[in-house]
Amino acid sequence: MLTYAVRRVLLSVPIVLIASFVLFVATRATFDPLGKLRQSRDPSVLHRETIRLGLDKSVPEQYFLWLKGFVTGDWGVSTRTGGDVRKMILQALWPTLQLIFWGIVFAVIIAGFIAIYSAVKQYSLADHTLTALSYVGIALPAFWFGLVLIQLLAVLPRQQFGLTDPLLYFVGLHSPGQSGFNLDYLRHLVLPVLTLTITLVAMWSRFGRASMLDALGSEYVRTARAKGVPRRRILLRHAARNSLAPFVTVVALDAALLFGGLVVTEQIYSIPGMGRLFLDSLLTGDVFVLLPWLLVVAAAVVVCNLIADIGYAILDPRVRLR
Amino acid sequence: MFPAVATLLVASACSSNSSALSGQNDAPVAARDGGSIVIGAEQEPDCADWLGTCAGSIWGSYTMQVGTIPAAFDTRKVDGKWVPQASDLLTGDPAVQTVDGKQTITYRINPKAVWSDGTPISSADFAYTALQVRDGKDIFEKSGYSDIANVATPDPKTAVVTMQTPYASWRDLFSGDYGVLPAHILDGKDRDALMKDGYTWSGGPWIIQNWQRGTSVTLVPNDKYWGPKPHLDKVTFQFITDTAAAFQALKSGQVDALYPSPQLDALSQIKAGVANTKSQVDPVTGNLEAIWLNNTKFPFDSQTVRQALAYSIDRDAIVKRLFGTIGVDKAAQSFFTPIVGGFGESAFGKYTLDLGKVTALMTGDGWAKDSAGFWAKGGKRASFAVETLAGNKRRDLTLQILQSQFTQAGFEMTIHDTTSATLFGTTAPNGDFQAGLYTLIDTFPEPLNLASTFASAAIPSQANGYSGTNFGRVNIPGLDAVLDQIDADVDPAPRIAASKQADQMLADAVPAIPLDDVPNVLLWSARLGGPISINPSEGPFWNLSEWGLAQ
């Protein structure tokens, strides 16, 4: 398994390098790190900054200089903030990890229950209802759904009941001056996690249902039934466990995408995570943040893929990793 | 200080200051001491090293700089007009002399002025700041400071700045973008490293308690401030970059005030109404949106065509369509934005929609309409593309209206979406455009931008490394001399006369067409008290120390 993991990591290196070069060239061609200086009254500032940031060099030369620094541990300095890029990315990673963690925990639990229930009650009214709701959930755009949740669960209750504070907050993960795991944190967490969870539940419950139906229709479940194994035991020990393997794969792969895919959720809820860092850096042409950002997200994808593969092997003894 | 400052400014403010918003003209509610508030900030500053190239964010100025950095001049309303006024950092107006072509400015520092650690603010601080800007490498803007010959410090409370050549906008020094920095803390150290993430010292009424990147900036009163102390115990600026979410935060009481950019989504939110909220809409602003014409490209290489173009559009109608919901309906009539309006005239006021004049001008210049109804001359149609930054819905709407009006007048206009990098990095410096829609920004009530926008020396060229910002290649006979006088004449009366002359010359030559002064909008919760109002130069939180919870 170790050999497999090392090989997977090594195989991902050239892909990540190519992706980073493409991103570098595309960002340089599209966005301008000197944008806010372009209309300065001081005619010399552009020249000074071009030299200072090395923008007078060719794009490939700039890229290789950055890469050389990166592999020797120098993540560089943001052209936007002048800050240390490693620190910026680590700071952004923490709120995103929190959202991903809570989103996955709730989505797995809820989607798992819905999947089992829908599969067991296939073609019932409840199954049809849950199916219809899942399609709605998949179709809901996060930017719209987030704002609807804010209106319904934060603004309206305060106005209707004359509360001094809203029950649920939607700006950041803490109120000013607060920190840590406390009630304030939970009141901030509910809406962004709900926004994130709805789509995940909708997708994963569909996938889980199909997987569960496959398992329930398999020969080993039929054999277990014929042998008189109790229904609950068949569902949980035989069908659910076997349907878990593909489900875990999907969860792990989707989790990987979330590392860089929470732009909208983080924007609506003013959460300074990886998505917002990407957006801010992209719009200001801050390629020295974008490249390490890409590598961190790529690393997350590689790790999540590995977790998926390993998880599959653990849950399904027939699978061996080579 | 500015005896003849702007009748135009007043006219502009009164003509379009009416608003449907509630509370705009309410008398201030008395503020009590104590308590804390949260203000929604739509942008996070990139850094707090105000001298460095990472600065330049207006929200950095609003949230931290104005409250913590002492400045020689404040922008204050005097007789209904915003003008530079010696701040309480000084004992009075500096003495200004010009001898043998060299200007000296003598600043006398208030003996009570101290930094937050108790160290007196001294002439060494003025010298440090001036030389950092003049000689530093990573500096955002050196204009004015690059002409400083030396700074003498005859005693700790007197700084004498000698300019190599007269600098008429000298009030911008140690004010505007920069202020005064503490030499005893920064001299000999890495200024950028000490300031960029926020600093622990202050020379203003507030001190930065905490800047949590991506989340908020918190200010608390500076106990050592020599002026009136703030009413509030704490002010937190929370970064909410999504406009819709920011308005919901105001409605839900999570924030107590907002200062949104007047984009279409914000305007529709304001139009829909925000309960228990007061507001101010202020058209006296430093942001001018205009159609910038490339004076060397067909068809704008003809002054007659440019004049005809100005007669082709109903600019008031455009402004009404954009900002009518917040009561702003008058077009900009000068390249002097309202905050420097005292220097200009309403010179462009003569250009109102008049298709008869368009026809007379165009036919007089040898143009005739082709079969499609567009003006053509020598087989070439009066057709042009307007460059605009993609994603700005307000500008998209502006261009759609312009396109319709120009078509009716016989001009064929197309819209070309571009990026900031392409427009200001390549297209505009190289002159590879016909027209563009973008904003001229003044941040201090001095005509600092005119020469860099219209002087022929500022035309980007190989000789100056394509670094000038006269993108339109404007070269109006006689204008350079007038602009030089505006920049160098320290006597206010002839300087203002020169400014008005420049305004007339620009209106006659139509190198560009001013459209709208983008209004400022401030909304605040009814639970707030104090004299809350917008300062077009220092922003809406310029008098934050006077804000408080309503009594």
With CB atoms and an 8 Å threshold, state whether A268 touches B245.
yes
Q: A25 burial class (0-12, 13-18, 19+ CB within 10 angstroms)? A: middle
Q: What is the mean pLDDT of chain A?
A: 88
Which residue from B minimizes the CA distance to A43? B467
Averaged over A112-134, what is the pLDDT? 94
Q: How confident is the model at residue B386 (pLDDT cuts 50, 70, 90)?
A: very high
pLDDT digits (tens, 9 = 90+) for B116-174: 999 999 999 999 999 999 998 888 888 899 999 999 999 999 999 999 999 999 999 99
Cα separation, B103 vs B170, in Å, equals: 10
Residue B53 has pLDDT above 90, yes or no: no
Residue with tokens 């296939």: A122
How far is residue A148's CA from residue A146's CA, in Å, rounded to a whole number?
Answer: 5
CA distance linking residue A301 with residue A19, whole number of Å: 13
Question: What's the pLDDT score for residue B4?
Answer: 31
- Given a cut of 90, whether residue A70 has pLDDT beyond it is no
A223-237, B15-29, B406-420, B459-473: which has the minimum mean pLDDT? B15-29
Q: Which residues contact A61 (CB under 8 A, 6 or more apart)?
A: none
Instruction: Report pLDDT for A193.
Output: 96
At position B550, the amino acid (one-letter code) is A
Residues 6+ positions from B130 with CB-CB distance below 8 Å: B145, B148, B151, B161, B173, B174
Q: Is a pLDDT exceeding 50 seen at residue B6?
A: no
**What tokens does B397 get?**
């709407």
Taking an 8 Å cut-off on Cβ atoms, the answer to whether B54 and A46 are in contact is no
Mutate to test the interface with B, among A28, A37, A41 (most CBs of B within 10 A): A41
Residue from the list A38, A276, A284 with its beta carbon closest to the beta carbon of B214: A276
Q: In terms of pLDDT, which residue wins out, A269 or A295?
A: A269
- How near does any CA of chain B get to the CA of A191, in Å? 12
- The answer to whether the CB atoms of B141 and A41 lie below 8 A apart is yes
Is the overall model pTM greater than 0.90, yes or no?
no
Chain A residues with beta carbon closer than 8 angstroms to that of B57: 36
SS3 content of chain A, % helix, strand, coil (to 5): 75, 0, 25
DSSP state letters, B447-466:
--SHHHHH-GGGS--TTTTT
pLDDT value at residue A320: 67
**Span B413-442, mean pLDDT?**
88
Terminus-to-terminus CA distance in chain A, angstroms? 6
**Best CA proximity match to B344, nearest among B172, B495, B510:** B495
ipTM of the complex: 0.83
Name the band, by pLDDT with cuts 50, 70 and 90, for residue B526: very high
Show Cβ contacts of residue B211 under 8 Å, excluding neighbours closer than 6 positions.
B48, B64, B197, B198, B217, B218
Buried b / exposed e over B115-153, threshold 16 CB at 10 Å, is: bbeebbbbbbbbbbbbbbbbebebbbbbbbbebbeebeb
CA-nearest of B323, B316, B295, B334 to B475 is B295
- B333/B507 Cα distance (integer angstroms): 9
Residue B26's pLDDT band, with cuts at 50, 70 and 90, is low
Under the banding of pLDDT at 50, 70 and 90, the label for residue B72 is very high
**pLDDT (average), residues A142-151:** 91
Can you tell me the mean pLDDT for A12-33?
82
Residue A286 pLDDT grade (very low, low, confident, very high; cuts 50, 70, 90)? confident
Question: What pLDDT, on a 0 to 100 scale, did the predictor assign at position B173?
Answer: 96
- Which residues does chain A have within 8 Å of residue B252's beta carbon, measured at their own beta carbons? 150, 154-155, 158, 166, 170
Distance CA B409, CA B6 (A): 34
pLDDT (0 to 100) of residue A39: 64
Q: Does residue B57 carry a pLDDT above 60?
A: yes
Residue B13 pLDDT level (bands cut at 50, 70, 90) = very low
Confidence of residue A322 (pLDDT cuts 50, 70, 90): low
* Token duo for residue A47: 């020249």
Chain A residue closest in CA terms to B252: A155
Q: How confident is the model at residue B334 (pLDDT cuts 50, 70, 90)?
A: very high
Q: What's the pLDDT score for residue B420?
A: 75
Number of inter-chain CB pairs under 8 A, A vs B? 161
Which residue from A80, A151, A171 is facing B238, i.e. has the nearest CB?
Answer: A171
Averaged pLDDT, A275-295: 88
On whether the CB atoms of residues A191 and B249 are closer than 8 A, the answer is no
Residues of A in contact with B53 (CB under 8 A): 37, 45, 49, 82
When pLDDT is averaged across residues B92-103 and rounded to a whole number, the result is 93
* Residue of A20 and B72 predicted with greater confidence: B72
What is the average per-residue pLDDT within A216-245?
A: 88
Interface test with B, best of A171, A179, A191, A264 (most B CBs within 10 A): A171
Check residues B115 and B6 and name the one with the higher pLDDT: B115
B222-240 average pLDDT score:
96
Q: In chain B, pLDDT over 70 holds for what percent of residues?
A: 95
Phi, psi of A63 (to 5 degrees): -65, -45
pLDDT tier at A46 (50, 70, 90 boundaries)?
Answer: confident
Residues 6+ positions from B335 with CB-CB distance below 8 Å: B288, B290, B344, B440, B450, B453, B454, B503, B506, B512, B514
- Mean pLDDT for chain B overall: 90
Instruction: Say whether A32 and B424 touch across the interface (CB within 8 A).
Output: yes
Nearest to A30 among B52, B419, B467 (CB): B419
Residues of chain B with C-beta less than 8 angstroms from the C-beta of A278: none
User: Which tens digits make up the pLDDT trace of B245-278?
Assistant: 999 999 999 999 999 998 888 888 888 888 889 9
Residues 120-159, chain A: which have Cβ within 8 Å of B?
Answer: 146-147, 150-151, 154-155, 158-159
Note whether A47 contacts B: Cβ–Cβ < 8 A: yes
Measured between CA atoms, how close is B237 to chain A, in angstroms?
Answer: 9
A52 interfacial to chain B (CB closer than 8 Å): yes
Q: What is the mean pLDDT of residues A170-181?
A: 91
Give CA–CA dist B136/B130, Å, rounded.
Answer: 10
Q: What is the mean pLDDT of residues B232-242?
A: 95
Looking at residue A321, what is its pLDDT? Answer: 61
* Both tokens assigned to A252: 């792990």
Cβ pair B244, A147 in contact under 8 A: yes
Residue A192 or residue A55, greater confidence: A192
Asked if A147's CB is within 8 angstroms of B248's CB, the reply is yes
| Rama region for A222: left / alpha / beta (φ>0; ψ in -120 to 50; rest) | alpha
Residue whose C-alpha is closest to residue A134's, from A203, A45, A37, A181: A203
What does the pLDDT look like over B182-216, one tens digit per residue? Answer: 999 999 999 999 999 999 999 999 999 999 999 99
Helix, strand, or coil here: B95? strand
SS3 state at B4: coil
Helix (H) or strand (E) segment spanning residue B258:
strand B257-258
Q: Are B235 and B37 in contact (CB under 8 A)?
A: yes
Q: Which of B218, B241, B251 sits opposite A270 (nearest CB)?
A: B241
Identify the residue with better confidence: B106 or A81: B106
Measuring CA to CA, which residue among B260, B207, B213, B273 is closest to residue B235?
A: B207
In this structure, of A104-108, A250-254, B313-317, the range with the lowest mean pLDDT score is A250-254
pLDDT of residue A318: 72
Instruction: Note whether B137 contacts A172, CB cutoff 8 Å.
Output: no
Q: What is the pLDDT of residues B418-431, one digit of tens each?
A: 877 778 878 888 89
